[in-house]
A and B are shown apart, each in its own frame.
Chain A
Amino acid sequence: MADINLENADPNFKYELAKQPGGEKIMACFTCRTCTASCPITAVNERFNPLRIIRLALYGLKREVLSSDFIWLCSSCYACQERCPQGVSITELMTLLKNMAVKEGHAPAGVRAQLDLVKTHGRIYPLDDFDNKKRKKINLPVLPTSCEVMKDLIPD
């Protein structure tokens, strides 16, 4: 990756995070690396670790954080959050960052496709007539294949 230049940093980013649920204590981080040591994702690939995200956020590198793959790779196992000696809600911070990323248009393709599915079908796996035929065979009720109410719940 290219060198980091803080000229493009947004100094208000950390304060912005600190105002929202999950980011309150982000500035308490004292880089002990306990989160990194606990993280099952880091065990697979060292490039991805929670501390890196926190450090980037503290530098104010908003774009780098929100476009980072890690926030989506996070398995939400809560190991880091449980062990953080400074009480940083790391897993909840990841949720917050995911929400911010979607708002800023940084969501990965898979997540966007899933969103479309939920929007049109009301569930994460599409259901069609073939499925209903099979359900009838074993005397299960027919399920609707589309969900109009979702369109109201998730506006464009």
Chain B
Amino acid sequence: MNISPRVLVVGSGPVAQLAALELAKMGHQVLLCNQAESIAGNKHLWGSPDDRLSELGSLKQDLRDDPRIEIMAPTRILEFQGSPGNFQVRLKGNDEARTNEVVGAVILSIEPFAMAHFESWGVKESEKIKDLSWVESILSSSGNDPLLSGDSLRTLVFLCGFTHHSNPFSQKRAMEAAAKLVLEGRNTVIFLVDQFQVADYGLERLTHRAREAGVLFVKLTGIKPEIETGSNALTVSYYDQELEEKVTISPDCLILEEAYKAPKEIIHLADILGVTADRKGFFQGDNIYNQPIHTNRHGIWVVDSAKGFVSLQEGIEEAKAAAMDIHQFLGKGESITAYKRLLFDEAKCGKCLTCYRSCPHLAISYYEVKPVFHELACKACGICAAACPMDAIQIANFTDNEIIEEIENAVQKRHGHNKEDNVSLVAFCCENSAFDSARMASLNGLPLPNGLEIVRVPCAGRVDQHYVLKALESGADGVMIIGCHDESCSSVRGNRLAKKRIEIIGKALAEVGLEKERLFFESCAPGMGWEFSKIATKVEHVVRELEKGR
């Protein structure tokens, strides 16, 4: 299949620039676009000079020199459609000019911004209360600021990790600033901290260095210090847990640590691109199949802090990994994929576009009220096939006829045995999780119900409502769908769809006088034989009780 080897990189930071360069080196045409004013990068994320890694040194020059990289800033993405390898993007430049571009893949590397929580302390930024960025700018300007010059002693207080779970990087910045501000004992620096995370490269060492330079770390577990601001006076008081006494300080400057927030454009962009975002407004969400650099949409990669804060070092590794991934996918403009996994019968199609709405991989678009299937994006999960009211879509090896035949065979096999003793159970097992566990349980000889029959499905979301009814009709006493746990479904929401369907069928069954307790939705991880055994035994017990009651 022919695809476009061009790549769109969205973002302005060093990581976005590095990703663009890596791709250009591999021979791809790169469009580097950003909604910010210029390709400058958020200075907070560059860290201190020690952090500036050698590979980022000549980044900007290389970027401008490379003929394969087209820098277009500032630009906004207006529309985005198509399939991996062939995305159509509509961009709007600063001068209102609109352009259409075709790209094969996208890397998102939008940087978060740093913000101090003045409001949550009930204070305003003032002469004596500052945020970390201000202190850093003072330190880097090497000027004659009153904080740094002179011999008189000053008291500085840092607040860190109180109003939010701060991340290692902002703590690193705070500690570096604190260690510098001690000025060989000319300033007293007290570092008040609640949630302290030292799980990053060099942080433990930095803590040591700051402490030995003379920074006094005071940990206040779960207690916020009180800040009082009067006319030109500032006092900070807290209960010192080591001294078991209240300590009052009148600092000359109070410095607040900063948190990293997602810019609003991420949510907006996620909506346009059709990728998931989390509660905090970052890309990607919690699904484990997206970790670390993927999104729910094939062809869109997300790196660096666009999906929650990561350090610059990690961001660089991710950019390289994404570039390699994309090169593997786009290569020389051709891609090979399995042929005819999805079978579409146009004559049956009712043109309702339920498939377009239900596809979790965004592999279906439409053209003149007719669905178009993108084979590169399709994962053959079968959610569209189950959702299609006309049964116009079939998945190869998992067609309606094949599955129904399997159900009938399974239940009839049971009927041949002694029906008195056994209850007949049908379990639809997702091949990504429960099917594996079921096989493990039977291979290991774990206790399983005698009357259990397993039907393999590509995803719990593939189970059509009439499969469940067919199983009951053929004589099964209980039916279960066993899928993945939440946020572990490779089809984003296949497990949730299955659960919902079980509830709907249960209601319908109750109306015709059959117990809805005969239907089950359970979650089971792959490789958990004993867990599968427990679920199946529990279900058998419930169904047996129901049978007795009849």
Task: Report A-chain residues with C-beta under 8 Å of the C-beta of B187.
Answer: 11
- What's the Cα separation between A58 and B211 when bound, in Å? 11
* CB <8 Å contact, A6 and B153: no
* Interface mask (A17-57 → B, CB under 8 Å = 1, otherwise 0): 00000000001111101000000000000000001100110
Residue of A nearest to B208 (CB): A28
Q: Which of A1, A14, A28, A58 has the most CB of B within 10 A?
A: A58
Interface size on B, residues (CB 8 A): 23
With beta carbons under 8 angstroms apart, the residue of B208, B213, B242, B248 that contacts A55 is: B242
B243 interfacial by beta-carbon distance below 8 Å: yes
Known: A3-B246, A4-B240, A5-B248. A31 touches B155 (CB 8 A): no
With beta carbons under 8 angstroms apart, the residue of A5, A15, A59 that contacts B216 is: A59
With beta carbons under 8 angstroms apart, the residue of A3, A11, A27 that contacts B247 is: A3
* Interface mask (B212-238 → A, CB under 8 Å = 1, otherwise 0): 111011010000000000000000010
Residue of B nearest to A58 (CB): B216
Task: Report B-chain residues with C-beta under 8 Å of the C-beta of A5.
Answer: 247-249
* CB <8 Å contact, B248 and A11: no
* CB <8 Å contact, A4 and B246: yes
B188 interfacial by beta-carbon distance below 8 Å: yes
With beta carbons under 8 angstroms apart, the residue of B212, B237, B245 that contacts A27 is: B212
With beta carbons under 8 angstroms apart, the residue of A4, A9, A60 that contacts B243 is: A4
The distance from the CB of A121 to the nearest CB of chain B, in whole angstroms, is: 41
Residue of B nearest to A60 (CB): B188
A148 interfacial by beta-carbon distance below 8 Å: no
Known: A4-B240, A28-B208. A14 touches B246 (CB 8 A): no
Task: Report B-chain residues with C-beta under 8 Å of the C-beta of A152.
Answer: none
Known: A12-B185, A14-B214, A55-B243. A6 touches B208 (CB 8 A): no
Task: Report B-chain residues with C-beta under 8 Å of the C-beta of A156.
Answer: none
Task: Report A-chain residues with C-beta under 8 Å of the C-beta of B537.
Answer: none
Task: Report A-chain residues with C-beta under 8 Å of the C-beta of B237.
Answer: 3
- What's the Cα separation between A30 and B245 when bound, in Å? 19
Residue of A nearest to B211 (CB): A27
The distance from the CB of A44 to the nearest CB of chain B, in whole angstroms, is: 17
* CB <8 Å contact, A4 and B245: yes
- What's the Cα separation between A70 and B533 when bound, in Å? 64
* Interface mask (B144-175 → A, CB under 8 Å = 1, otherwise 0): 00000000010100000000000000000000
- What's the Cα separation between A59 and B214 when bound, in Å? 10
* CB <8 Å contact, B247 and A4: yes
- What's the Cα separation between A15 and B184 when bound, in Å? 9
* CB <8 Å contact, B243 and A56: yes
Q: What is the total of A-B residue contacts with beta carbons within 8 Å?
A: 57
* CB <8 Å contact, B219 and A31: yes
With beta carbons under 8 angstroms apart, the residue of B188, B208, B212 that contacts A11 is: B188
* CB <8 Å contact, A11 and B211: no
B250 interfacial by beta-carbon distance below 8 Å: yes
Task: Report A-chain residues with C-beta under 8 Å of the C-beta of B188.
Answer: 6, 9, 11, 60
Task: Report A-chain residues with C-beta under 8 Å of the C-beta of B219.
Answer: 31
Task: Report A-chain residues with C-beta under 8 Å of the C-beta of B155.
Answer: 6, 11
Task: Report A-chain residues with C-beta under 8 Å of the C-beta of B217.
Answer: 30-31
* CB <8 Å contact, A6 and B185: no
- What's the Cα separation between A6 and B237 when bound, in Å? 10
- What's the Cα separation between A55 and B240 when bound, in Å? 10
* CB <8 Å contact, A28 and B211: yes
- What's the Cα separation between A9 and B155 when bound, in Å? 11
Known: A28-B212, A55-B240. A6 touches B245 (CB 8 A): no
- What's the Cα separation between A15 and B214 when bound, in Å? 8
Task: Report B-chain residues with C-beta under 8 Å of the C-beta of A58.
Answer: 216
- What's the Cα separation between A4 and B246 when bound, in Å? 6
- What's the Cα separation between A127 and B240 when bound, in Å? 50
Q: Which of B155, B208, B247 has the most CB of A within 10 A?
A: B247
* CB <8 Å contact, A7 and B250: yes
* CB <8 Å contact, A6 and B247: yes
- What's the Cα separation between A51 and B244 when bound, in Å? 12
Ranked nearest first, the 10 interchain pairs of A and B with the lowest CB-CB distance are: A11-B188, A3-B246, A6-B249, A55-B242, A4-B247, A5-B248, A15-B185, A58-B216, A27-B212, A11-B153
A and B contact pairs by CB, cutoff 8 A, 9 listed: A3-B246, A3-B247, A6-B247, A6-B248, A11-B185, A11-B188, A14-B214, A28-B212, A29-B211
